[in-house]
C-alpha cells in the first residue's frame, strides 16, 4: 500500500489471552498465551472483516425555561468487536464457546471433542485486535482490550455452496486500572 496512510485498507486480526495478560508492543509478535482467532488470522474471517463498535447512551437536560438542551451527559458506554470466523477446527470452536477445552482420544478412531454446554459462568479474556497503522501501513495499530467476553450466538450453517462460520461478538467489561483499554498506533 502507499500514501495516504490515514486511509486504512485491510482487515485486522484478533487474538485472545487470559485476562491480565500483558499486551505485546505494536512491533512485537503476540506469543505465549495469546491465541489467534482463525488458524490463518484474517484469512479465516468473512468479507465483512472485523468491526469495532463504540456504543454510548447520551442523556440531555432541557430546562423548564427553554426548548433546547443545555447539557449533554453520557450515562453508559461500551466497545463491541464482531466478525465471522470461517474456521471450525475443534480448537477454534472451543475458544468461541466460552474458552472450552478440547478432549483428545487417540482411538481408533482418533477424535477431538468439545463440550457444547457453556454453563453459568461467563469466561473473560484479554483481546488484541491488530492491523495497519494510519501513520504508515508497514507498521501496526492495535486495540488493547483488557476484559472481554463472547456475547454472540455462534450459528454455523452447514449447507451446499456456502461456508459454515461462527458469529463472534465480544463485549468489553471495565477493568479497574486499564478502564476500557486503549488504541495504539505505531508511528516509527
Tens of pLDDT, residue by residue over 70-96, are 999 999 999 999 999 999 999 999 999
Q: Are 16 and 35 in contact, with CB atoms under 8 Å apart?
A: yes
Q: Please indicate, yes or no, if residue 7 is contained in any of the structural domains.
A: no
Q: For residue 43, is pLDDT > 90? A: yes
Confidence of residue 1 (pLDDT cuts 50, 70, 90): low
- Helix and strand totals (H; E) in the chain: 1, 10
Q: Is residue 141 a part of any domain in this protein? A: yes
- 183 pairs with which residues across the strands? 143
Whether residue 6 is contained in a domain is answered as no
- The answer to whether residue 2 sits within a structural domain is no
Q: What are phi and psi of 24, to 5 degrees?
A: -75, 155
Mean pLDDT in residue range 108-112: 94
- Please give the Cα distance from 26 to 100 (Å, whole number): 29
Pairing of strands 140-150, 125-132: antiparallel
How many beta carbons lie within 10 A of that of residue 100, not counting itself?
Answer: 20
Number of domains within the chain = 1
Domain range for 35: 13-59+70-185
pLDDT reading at 133 higher than 80: yes
**Position 8 in a domain:** no
Using only C-alpha atoms, what is the Rg of the chain? 20
Q: How far apart are CA 171 and CA 162, in angstroms?
A: 28
Q: Cell numbers at residue 106, please?
A: 487417540
The answer to whether residue 3 sits within a structural domain is no
Per-residue pLDDT, averaged over 127-135, amounts to 96
Q: Is residue 65 part of a domain?
A: no
CA-CA distances (angstroms) from residue 164 to 27, 50, 138, 167, 175? 33, 17, 32, 10, 34
Q: How many CB atoms lie within 10 A of CB 150?
A: 22
Tell me what the mean pLDDT of segment 133-161 comes to: 95
Higher pLDDT, 59 or 9: 59
46 within domain boundaries: yes
Amino acid at each position: 500500500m502507499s500514501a495516504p496512510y490515514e486511509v486504512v485498507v485491510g482487515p485486522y486480526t484478533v487474538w485472545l489471552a487470559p485476562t491480565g495478560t500483558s499486551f505485546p508492543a505494536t512491533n512485537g509478535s503476540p506469543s505465549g498465551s495469546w491465541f489467534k482467532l482463525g488458524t490463518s488470522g484474517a484469512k479465516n474471517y468473512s468479507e465483512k472483516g472485523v468491526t469495532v463498535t463504540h456504543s454510548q447512551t447520551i442523556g440531555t437536560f432541557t430546562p423548564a425555561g427553554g426548548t433546547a438542551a443545555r447539557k449533554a451527559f453520557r450515562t453508559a458506554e461500551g466497545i463491541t468487536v464482531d466478525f465471522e470466523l470461517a474456521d471450525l477446527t475443534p480448537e477454534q470452536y472451543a475458544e468461541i464457546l466460552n474458552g472450552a477445552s478440547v478432549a483428545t482420544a487417540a482411538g481408533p478412531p482418533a477424535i477431538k471433542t468439545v463440550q457444547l454446554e457453556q454453563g453459568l459462568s461467563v469466561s473473560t479474556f484479554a483481546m488484541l485486535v491488530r492491523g495497519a497503522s494510519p501513520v504508515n501501513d508497514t507498521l501496526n495499530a492495535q486495540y488493547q482490550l483488557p476484559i472481554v467476553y463472547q456475547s454472540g450466538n455462534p450459528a454455523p450453517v452447514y449447507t451446499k455452496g456456502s461456508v459454515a462460520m461462527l458469529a463472534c461478538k465480544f463485549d468489553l467489561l471495565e477493568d479497574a486500572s486499564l478502564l476500557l483499554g486503549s488504541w495504539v498506533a505505531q508511528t516509527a
